[in-house]
Amino acid sequence: MSTTRIKGLLKFDTISADLKIIAQKVLDQIRISEQEGNLLFQKAELPFLGTLANHIREKRHGDTTYFNRNFHIEPTNICIYTCKFCSYVRKPGDEGAWEYSPEDILDKVRAYDGKPITEVHIVGGVHPKRDLHYYGSIIKKIKEIRPDLHVKAFTAVELEFMINKAKLSIEEGLKVLKEYGLDSIPGGGAEIFSPEIREVICDEKASTDNWLTIHETAHKLGIPSNATILYGHSEKYKHRIDHLIRLRELQDKTGGFNTFIPLKYRSQNNSMSGLGEVSSIEDLRNYAISRIMLDNFDHIKAYWPMIGKETTQLSLSYGVDDIDGTIDDSTKIYSMAGGEDQTPQMSTEMLVALVKKVKRKPVERDTVYNVIKEY
């Protein structure tokens, strides 16, 4: 069916020859080049992109749409850095600054006793006083309370700081954290890899090379991870493509990325607010081009607390096959930046209904995409 749609596109006179070459490559499963990626961003209309991305999505996953039962813990919003897009960061003593004690964090885990949750996602600010043994001991205790819970924790930015503070190499630090019980690494902190933009929006934190090295090292140690992009602010299309190409190259080397998560810049309460936000059409184009370019990533995830439930439903026809999880009102990163939902939480029933409404098949997964239940 989706093959017929692409073949139909190839007959349209209104579609330019260079775009038809890309469509044919998608049909033939040939990798799209950086130059062609740029062309897609500059020239391709949403229906064309959707046809290509949906073909790839359905070839890989059919109608299956993954979600999981997860919650977040954000140990602190105190951070030594001041990224310009961040609405959440505070300095010690500022109004609105928080830091949970290890016991507070463990209580949050205990609150799920007897509930069928499978993943805790732990990310927060880079606190000046906390090193990897502090956080590692918390992970160890979480595992004692809940051995079955997958701990997906700390962006490469947090990892770089806590490992340096403990005076270890990246490899040593990651090994230590793995021994404490770290199961995987979330995709945050990637922002935009191109130094031109990175230096303007987040010049202090982990460099592009360090972000990539941390993920590469993790993959070598058998720790899978995710990858993100922060798009829709000051970057140009060529920066988005550069970002995707760098991730694709690393994935060729390691195969350790589970999923790619485009994160739309939300503009409230931060120092880039004047830039505003891109449209939902741009969100869908971005998902579709990500799906087309990342031929070695199994999954593309729409993070529903950030783009809202309706765009999430639409995204399932633009390359997305994963919608993250239940969340349970446990994250503030997006609500503080103007995300669609001030108290993001969805029951399993709501997630299932959201997916079924757009005629896709909901499948509950664990963090590494083992199927738990088909609905």
- Can you list the positions of beta strands (E) in 108-169? 119-122, 150-153
Stretch that binds ligand SF4, among 61-69, 82-90, 171-179, 297-305 (CB under 6 A): 82-90
Tell me how far, at minimum, the Cβ of 13 lies from ligand V47, in Å. 40
Shortest-Cβ-distance residue relative to ligand V47: 188
Alpha helices in 204-236 (DSSP H): 208-220
Residue 28: Cβ within 10 Å count: 7
> How many CB atoms within 10 Å of residue 219?
19
Which tokens in the block code for residue 212? 């990539």
Contact flags string 224-253 toward ligand SF4, x per CB under 6 A = ------------------------------
Region from 21-29, 84-92, 259-267, 288-296 binding ligand SF4, contact rule CB under 6 A: 84-92
Euclidean distance between CA atoms 331 and 260, whole angstroms: 19
Q: What is the C-alpha to C-alpha distance for residues 62 and 55, in angstroms, rounded to an integer?
A: 9
> Going by C-beta distance under 8 Å and a sequence separation of 6 or more, which residues neighbour residue 168?
132, 176
- Residue for token digits 């607390």? 305
Distance CA 144, CA 192 (A): 37
Q: Judged by CB under 6 A, does residue 81 bind ligand SF4?
A: yes
From 82, 207, 213, 345, residue interacting with ligand SF4 (rule: CB under 6 A): 82
Out of ligand SF4, ligand V47, none, what residue 234 binds, judged by CB under 5 to 8 A for its kind, is none
* Window 200 to 239, contacts with ligand V47 (CB under 6 A): 226, 228, 230
Q: Which of 61, 72, 152, 205 binds ligand SF4 (CB under 6 A)?
A: 205
Nearest to 211 by CA among 197, 192, 196, 224: 192
Give residue for tokens 């995300």: 339
C-alpha 215/C-alpha 210 separation (Å) is 9
Q: Residue 81 binds which entry of ligand V47, ligand SF4, none, with Cβ cut-offs from 5 to 8 Å by kind?
A: ligand SF4
Sheet of strand 225-231: strand arrangement: 225-231, 257-264, 299-300
* CA gap 189, 213 in Å, rounded: 13
Count of alpha carbons within 13 Å of 305, Cβ hemisphere only? 21
Q: Between the CA atoms of 194, 198, 204 and 206, what dihedral angle is there, to the nearest 10 degrees?
A: -40
Please, which of residues 169-198 interact with ligand V47 by CB under 6 A? 186-189, 191
Binding piece for ligand SF4, criterion CB under 6 A, among 81-89, 93-101, 253-261, 319-327: 81-89
Question: Considering only 83-91, 239-247, 346-354, 358-366, which stretch makes contact with ligand SF4 by CB under 6 A?
Answer: 83-91
Site for ligand SF4 contains 301 (CB under 6 A) = no
Minimum CB distance to ligand V47 smaller for 53 or for 323: 323
Q: How far is the CB of 296 from ligand SF4 (least distance, A)?
A: 27
CA distance 43 to 304: 27
Site string for ligand V47, 25-54 (x = CB under 6 A): ------------------------------
CB of 205 to ligand SF4, least distance (A): 5
Query: Footprint of ligand V47 on residues 252-271 (CB under 6 A)?
Result: 261, 263, 265-266, 270
Residue 172's CB: how many other CB atoms inside 10 A? 14
Token readout for 124 is 């927060």
Q: Does 126 bind ligand SF4 (CB under 6 A)?
A: yes
Selection from ligand SF4, ligand V47, none that 149 binds (CB < 5 to 8 A by kind) is none
The binding site for ligand V47 (CB under 6 A) comprises 85-87, 123, 155, 186-189, 191, 226, 228, 230, 261, 263, 265-266, 270, 303, 324, 333, 337
- Binding residues for ligand SF4 (CB under 6 A): 79, 81-83, 86, 88-89, 125-126, 157, 202, 205
